[in-house]
Copies of this chain bind each other. A is one copy, B any other.
């Protein structure tokens, strides 16, 4: 639907997860008959959950824990773990910063340099645990540190920024040639955020194995206030899923995985992301609520400590339960924060679908949440 905002300016109506809901079909199933498994490249996962490479979510320890529970832990290589030998005191400091000093304090703490030795150390720790190793760099840092990362050995390489395009234009520095970089790399690459059909299609053409869908849609970002930019997630995921389908045809059969990244505050949002066409979800807020999460009930993203233009805060998300219980229950709260896998399984069963790929076809309605 196109609307005329004013003379000569048209705009498309776009939708957030909160604007939509899933509805049952004529068939129901048993939750235990439903598969929520996911695979990308040679890797198989029992649950389609990746941890977001944010310091409040993913440490080497939680990455390992998530891997052991059947998901994929993704460690961010530009956070505290690669800037400090022992990040624990700094995590604690961030948690305890007074509200009016939190941005300034994080800017100071994250001003420490990224160290290649720590990159190797952290990745080795994950590798030694025997789970798949996935690590994330921003496009700006990929050229600088990718050799270290490859050398340290990763199974999946994640290039993640607020907006990543296949055609970055720069006068000052030669931008990363994503296509060549991915071509030369031995490991599969997941890249994003992309929030539109076109941007995602171009990323798919670089040879990426997966595309992250999102643009600061998470609870901890203020991108809309600061930049005026907003790509609500329901539309963004559906658009990128559309690009996946068109690229599948164009490429003669290459299936690029669509991974929703942002705006996933509870199990209902996860259900909606898959319903919109995602193959998997990268979880921030929901995993930050586990008692093992490094944030200790606080959550913040990489935009929160940008030195010139911070675009996010440290938000209190609370502590819901241990990680295993957050993923698999049982829940003793009814708010969609615990038993994410169980909720997904039940939503699929109730609507009559038996795997994620099928569930991407579930009927969706526009039902803004104003009252009952």
- Is the CB of A331 closer than 8 A to any CB of chain B? yes
Q: Which of A25-33, A75-83, A125-133 makes up part of the contact surface?
A: A25-33
- Is the CB of A15 closer than 8 A to any CB of chain B? yes
Given contacts A21-B230, A308-B329, A334-B304, contact A169 B27 (CB under 8 A): yes
| CB atoms of A372 and B217 under 8 A apart | yes
| Bound Cα distance from A236 to B276, whole angstroms | 22
Residues of B within 8 A of A195 (CB): 23-24
- Is the CB of A14 closer than 8 A to any CB of chain B? yes
Given contacts A29-B170, A215-B24, contact A241 B8 (CB under 8 A): yes
Given contacts A24-B196, A365-B12, contact A268 B228 (CB under 8 A): yes
| CB atoms of B28 and A168 under 8 A apart | yes
| CB atoms of A331 and B308 under 8 A apart | yes
Given contacts A21-B224, A225-B268, A332-B310, contact A241 B9 (CB under 8 A): yes
- Is the CB of A234 closer than 8 A to any CB of chain B? yes
| CB atoms of A28 and B310 under 8 A apart | no
Given contacts A236-B6, A239-B7, contact A367 B14 (CB under 8 A): yes
| Bound Cα distance from A312 to B312, whole angstroms | 32
A103 to chain B, nearest CB (A): 5
- Is the CB of A242 closer than 8 A to any CB of chain B? yes
A259 to chain B, nearest CB (A): 15
Residues of B within 8 A of A42 (CB): none
| CB atoms of A234 and B267 under 8 A apart | no
Given contacts A7-B239, A15-B5, contact A23 B229 (CB under 8 A): yes
| CB atoms of A364 and B238 under 8 A apart | no
| Bound Cα distance from A304 to B334, whole angstroms | 7
Given contacts A14-B367, A309-B342, contact A229 B24 (CB under 8 A): yes
| CB atoms of A372 and B332 under 8 A apart | no
- Is the CB of A233 closer than 8 A to any CB of chain B? yes
Which range holds the interface residue count of chain A? Answer: 35 or more
Copies of the protein in its oligomer: 4
Candidates B167, B202, B237, B366; contact of A11 at CB < 8 Å: B366
A281 to chain B, nearest CB (A): 12
Given contacts A9-B241, A12-B365, A28-B163, contact A23 B276 (CB under 8 A): no
Given contacts A16-B371, A169-B352, contact A24 B268 (CB under 8 A): no
| Bound Cα distance from A267 to B308, whole angstroms | 14
A-B pairs with lowest CB-CB distance, top 7: A6-B238, A7-B242, A228-B271, A21-B230, A18-B371, A228-B268, A9-B238
26 contacts between A and B (CB under 8 A): A3-B366, A5-B15, A5-B238, A6-B241, A6-B277, A7-B239, A9-B238, A11-B20, A14-B365, A14-B366, A18-B371, A22-B229, A24-B196, A27-B168, A29-B168, A30-B170, A225-B336, A227-B268, A227-B346, A227-B350, A228-B270, A231-B365, A232-B365, A263-B372, A309-B330, A310-B331
Instruction: Using A17-B372, A25-B165 as known contacts, list a sample of 19 further A-B pairs with CB atoms less than 8 Å apart, ordered by residue number in A.
Output: A7-B243, A7-B245, A8-B245, A8-B277, A22-B229, A24-B195, A27-B168, A33-B169, A224-B369, A225-B267, A226-B266, A227-B271, A227-B347, A227-B350, A228-B347, A229-B271, A230-B369, A309-B343, A310-B332
